Amino acid sequence: MAVGPGLAGSVDAALNQIAGLLESSPKAAAERASALLRDRPDHPLAVLYLGIARRLVGDLHGAIKVLGPLARHRPSWAPAHYELGVTLGAAGRSAEAMASLRRAVKLQVNIGEAWLLIADHSIALGDPAGADAAYANHLLVSSADPRLSAPLAAICENRMADAEAMLRRHLEQRPDDAPALRLLAEVAVRRRRYGDAEQLLRQSLALDPGVVAARHSLAVVLHEQDKTAAALEEVDRLLAVEPGNPAWLNLKANVLTRSGDIHRAIETFAAVLARHPDNARIWMAYGDALKTAGRQADAIAAYRRSSELAPGFGESWWSLSNLKTFRFLPEDLEVMRAQLARKGISNDDRLHFHFALGKAHEDSGDFAESFANYAEGNRLRRAALAYEAEATSAYVNRARSLLTTGFFTARAGWGSEARDPIFIVGLPRAGSTLIEQILASHSAVEGTMELPYVAEIADSLVRRAAPGTAAAYPEILASLRSEDLRELGERYLRLARLQRKTGARFFVDKTPNNWMHVGLIHLMLPNARIVDARRHPLGCCFSCFKQHFARGQAFTYSLEEVGRYYRDYVALMAHFDAVLPGRVHRVFYERMVEDTETEVRRLLAFCDLPFEDACLSFHETERAVSTASSEQVRRPVYKEAVDQWRNYERWLEPLRQALGPVLDSYPAAPGAAVTADSRNG
């Protein structure tokens, strides 16, 4: 039946009225839409508005009940699929939401908010590559400036150098262009230049503070830099607007885990999983948090659930093996081998399976098969890294030339007088977590895990140098004044305070790579204690080779490179022994295992701490431990690990060659006699 012009006009007026009420009074909008549908059953726009209104008042089930049939009956109408996707996502049904949103953008590619939601759901579903692609499309369709189309296209095509060059030229002419700043930040994120990305995102948000995607990106780059307090602040601002967003809740839980607030992290993960129980990646992250809290059985259950939901997700299997005390069942090995044989498996999943199988075969005594898997996992990981061993060696040589006895004597008494930090340096897998656990068992000491702040301060020294100057590190240390070094020390203490949870007098910073920064530590915090954790070169280096690290430690994925790195480390620490005698206390892992009480007493005496029995029963201390040794330090000292490398001795010749005289001299350093030039400068 034809609709008369008067009736059509009244329907349009009613629809306009409903649209105007959606944001201001969604309950009234739902009532008006329902009334209209009584007169005009199945009117698509009225049904759409009713679904939106029900979602806005929190009736997600009612919204899906009307939007689902609408999308089925209108398969070519993008708004129906978009609104259904939004509602399904709010209901925690991420996979279904993704399907609807992808249908919407297939029908109408320029729905920018749909691409943004697809990016969020991709993160929640464990697809970071999909999230990057969706966010690039969001940027592309959301920009109204045709001058940004070329750099946007370059980002979408992964031509980051071209995109950066074009955006920098654009910003020279228009420095306050917020969308261009966000695009340049995206380029910086893709290139892992998180400090640059943070600065650009802050500029963009200062100009346009309401852009949710930019704030989410800022939270992510802060998290990547271990700026946990600032990251939490940004995530909480996002959640204040949309409390149930799974991507933001997942990010918050991960930030809380890294900050050491492990119980809140576990609660947050549990809340996300209550709404997204089929998300394998979140189950794995939940397992990591449970492991850190010492809840091993619960961690195993979470990792198991992750691997059940996604058998091809290699990282969940590797996470099980990384518990160290866990043992795989024969049927587990069958599943992992079947996944490795699958076509289309990603390199990331493949390398995780190889590391897991390496540990499984090691536990069963099949060392040839174990080494083959470890070697393949390392080969795949090394191919994705840009580590240059020569750069590390060159740095050590430059540091030894600059940081002489005369250099330090001229700066005696500089820096902050604080005595709070106890730094543990060395290589990973050398016993640093054990030393930290012993110290953290003392009533006067707090363990704060691995802090990134010394390296951040070193990086900041180079960044703040005058443009056009060749300010390299550590050479730039020579230009610092007494007040500069004092401020650096106080800055470190302010940053570290963000990670402290107790009122203990001292705290431990267990960041192994800080051996490169012993000179900076001494200059800015001359009263801090420095402990060097050292282990037999073959035992330490091969243990690193067996370990897939979550991030950093790029030197560990080649036997030759890890051996050279160990050699460089020994050379620099021997130099500090010569120019700053007694400044560093060395703990040899083998001696700690052989005579624990003597070594613990020596360690406590160096730190000016009275002996406490709790330091000998360190395995009973309840605290969060996030490193690869988390389960091992919850057991009494055991000797089995000392000589495990001998099971692989016939494959370690490249490592022996790289270590050279360091291996023959252990536990002493080769060429311990230091020249007069290095002593006196």
DSSP string, 368-436: HHHHHHHHHHHHHHHHT----HHHHHHHHHHHHHHS-HHHHHTTTT-S-----EEEEEE-TTSSHHHHH
Number of structural domains (the chain) is: 3
Same-domain check for residues 550 and 412: yes
Burial class (CB in 10 A: 0-12, 13-18, 19+), 386: exposed
Q: Containing domain of residue 58, as a range? A: 5-250
Domain at 63, CATH number: 1.25.40.10
**Closest to 224 in 3D by CA, of 248, 250, 255:** 255
Beta strands in 245-388 (DSSP E): none
Contacts of 425 (CB under 8 A, 6+ apart): 432, 511, 512, 513, 514, 515, 518, 530, 531, 532, 533, 584
Pairwise CA distance, residues 228 & 316, whole Å: 25
506 shares its domain with 573:
yes
In a domain, 258, yes or no: no
For residue 336, the SS3 value is helix
Summarised one tens digit per residue, pLDDT across range 580-618 is 999 999 999 999 999 999 999 999 999 999 999 999 987
* Beta-carbon contacts of residue 608 (< 8 Å; ≥ 6 apart): 529
496 and 356 belong to one structural domain: no
pLDDT at 531: 98
Phi first, then psi: give them for residue 483, nearest 5 degrees: -65, -30
Considering the domain architecture, whether residues 500 and 533 belong to the same structural domain is answered as yes
The pLDDT score that the predictor gives to residue 621 is 67
Residues 6 or more apart in contact with residue 236 via CB below 8 angstroms: 252
Q: How far apart are CA 488 and CA 471, in angstroms?
A: 17
Q: Give strand pairing partners of 236.
A: none
Mark whether 45 and 66 lie in a shared domain: yes
- What DSSP element (H or E) covers 173? helix 160-173
Residues 335 and 208 in one domain: no
Q: How many Cβ atoms from other residues are within 10 Å of residue 121's Cβ?
A: 28
Q: Which of 194, 221, 250 is the last residue of a domain?
A: 250
State the residue for tokens 């204690």: 529
Give residue-wise pLDDT tens across range 462-502: 877 655 445 689 999 999 999 999 999 999 999 898 788 88
Residue 563 · residue 658 · CB < 8 Å: yes
d(CA 553, CA 557): 8
One-letter amino acid at 91 equals A
Cis preceding linkage at 474, omega within 30: yes
Predicted local distance difference test score (pLDDT) of residue 55: 87
In-domain check, residue 210: yes
**Alpha carbon distance 666, 135 (integer Å):** 52
Residue 301 lies in a domain: no
In this predicted structure, what is the pLDDT of residue 142?
Answer: 62
Tokens 């700026």 label which residue? 227
The verdict on 61 and 99 lying in the same domain is: yes
Question: Cα torsion at 562, 568, 569, 573 (round to 10°)?
Answer: 170
CA distances from 50 to 23, 68, 142, 419, 536 (A): 13, 12, 27, 65, 70
Of 250, 277, 294, which residue is a domain's last?
Answer: 250
- Do residue 644 and residue 584 come from a single domain? yes
| Residues of the chain scoring pLDDT < 70 | 1-9, 123-129, 139-145, 465-471, 621-641, 672-681
Task: Tell me how far apart the alpha carbons of residues 538 and 660 are, in angstroms, rounded to a whole number.
Answer: 11
Q: What is the CATH number of the domain that holds 346?
A: 1.25.40
Q: How many CB atoms lie within 10 A of CB 68?
A: 17
* 411 and 555 fall within a common domain: yes
| 299: in domain | no
pTM score: 0.76
How far is Cα 274 from Cα 34, in angstroms, rounded to an integer?
Answer: 32
What is the per-residue pLDDT for 350? Answer: 95
At residue 79, what is the residue type? P
Do 201 and 58 fall into the same domain?
Answer: yes
- Length of the chain equals 681
Task: Report the SS3 class of residue 531.
Answer: strand
Residue 475 carries which side chain, given as an amino acid letter?
E
Orientation angle between helical segments 389-402 and 559-579, nearest 10 degrees: 10
Query: Is 261 inside any structural domain?
Result: no
Alpha carbons 181 and 486: distance in angstroms, whole number: 35
pLDDT at position 638 is 56
Of 250, 280, 298, which closes a domain? 250
Tell me if residue 466 falls in helix, strand or coil: coil
Q: Which of 153, 154, 212, 142 is nearest to 179 (CA)?
A: 142
Cα 297 to its chain centre, rounded Å, is 24
Domain assignment present for residue 293? The answer is no
> Would 240 be classed as within a structural domain?
yes
Instruction: Please check whether residues 346 and 491 belong to one and the same domain.
Output: no
Q: Are 211 and 205 in contact (CB under 8 A)?
A: yes
User: 274 in a domain, yes or no?
Assistant: no
For the stretch 513-536, what's the b/e string if a residue is b when 16 or more beta carbons lie within 10 angstroms of its beta carbon? Answer: bbbbbbbbbbbbbbebbbbbbbbb
CATH of the domain at 555: 3.40.50.300
Q: 570-606 burial by CB neighbour count: b if 16+ within 10 A, else e?
A: bbbbbbbbbbbeeebbbbbbbebbeebeebbebbbeb
Please tell me whether residues 337 and 451 are part of one structural domain: no
Q: Identify which of 345, 363, 291, 346 has the alpha carbon closest to the alpha carbon of residue 630.
A: 291
How far is the C-alpha of 197 from the C-alpha of 219, rounded, in Å? 11
Rounded to whole angstroms, how far apart are CA atoms 237 and 235?
Answer: 5
Best CA proximity match to 621, nearest among 479, 478, 493, 439 = 439
